[in-house]
Structure 1
Amino acid sequence: MIGVNRLTSNSELQNLDLIDLLSERHTLVRRISEKAWNDQSEIYISNSEWYIMARIYKKRPTISYVTKNVDISRQAIHKFIKNLAAKGLVKIQNVENNKKEKCIQLTALGEECYEKNAALKAQLENEIAEKIGVKQVNILKDILKLDWRI
């Protein structure tokens, strides 16, 4: 799975600063993850749609909560939610005692897709660990979880 459309050669990576290194690696693993999903599924799900699905997995947040807590424009979030609903991945319901608010949750199909994709991402993480070492992957994850105070 690894190595799909390498973005930058290793020699080019040596000259990048932290911000650009993070960006290059993020883009690479997202592209590989997206390809892995699309190679095994009939349902195309964009990275932004996955991002929204991750925020609502096993929850029933309001759409306004999602809008405030996802770093995508309000209009785009509404578009992505409509797309997800059209694909049968989410259902939108009225909030009890509130005519304005709507809540969103994954359907059974949405949860199944989310869980299959989580397994694909775990497989990719294992492949990365095989290449750079389990200890290095764990160190990297710990560093990324730290409060950087920025």
Structure 2
Amino acid sequence: MIGVSRLSSASELQNLDLIDLLSERHTLVRRISEKAWNDQSDIYISNSEWYIMARIYKKRPTISYVTKNVDISRQAIHKFMKNLAAKGLVEISNAENNRKEKCIQLTALGEECYEKNAALKEQFENKIAEKIGAEQLQILKELLKLDWGIE
């Protein structure tokens, strides 16, 4: 499927429950998305790094805010932030009102990469729409946005 081998055959997917179906599809689309970026860029960015970049795009949150709002361990977040800074994708600076607190924001290069990746994801979404239908894709997105009352 779209440049990356499928995790499961269609018949194997038929026997999965909701949790496993979501997991299989999530893993597959993340792998395809990561490959699409890495095939066209010299800057390797992991899915976890994209996850952090998405939380700070067009913002300047504190590192503690990111740590509390991203489902990654505190130590791993700090490692990813150092990696992102070393790649020139983020800047870490002192917060204005608190010297102990640090803020993080995307650099111009980080924003450019984020926006290019957003375009790649949009192309991928369009391919999915071609396969399952634009209306079905919209229904799926709306279902995923609903409050499932499970938190």
**TM-score scaled by structure 2?**
0.98
2: CA distance, partners of 1:123 / 1:6: 19
2:75 is equivalent to residue 75 of structure 1: yes
- Cα distance, 1:73 vs. partner? 0.3
1:12 paired residue number: 12
SS in 2 for 1:67: helix
Aligned residue number for residue 86 of structure 2: 86
Aligned ranges 1:1-150 → 2 under 5 Å: 2-150=2-150
For residues 97 and 114 of structure 1, what CA distance do their matches in structure 2 show? Answer: 28
**Post-superposition offset of 1:97:** 2.9
Give structure 2 stretches of 5+ with no counterpart: none
What is the TM-score when the length of structure 1 is the normalising length? 0.98
Structure 1 residue 107 displacement after superposition: 0.1
> How far apart in 1 are the matches of 2:16 and 2:105?
40
Residue 15 of structure 1 deviates from its aligned partner by: 0.2
Give percent identity, aligned residues only.
Answer: 87
| Distance in 2, Cα, partners of 1:3 & 1:47 | 17
Moved over 3 A (4+): none
| Unaligned ranges ≥5, structure 1 | none
RMSD: 0.8
1:16 to partner: Cα distance: 0.2
3-state SS in 1 of match to 2:101: strand
One-letter amino acid of the structure 2 residue matched with residue 74 of structure 1: R
The alignment of Structure 1 onto Structure 2 pairs a total of residues equal to: 150
CA distance in 1, matches of 2:140, 2:130: 14
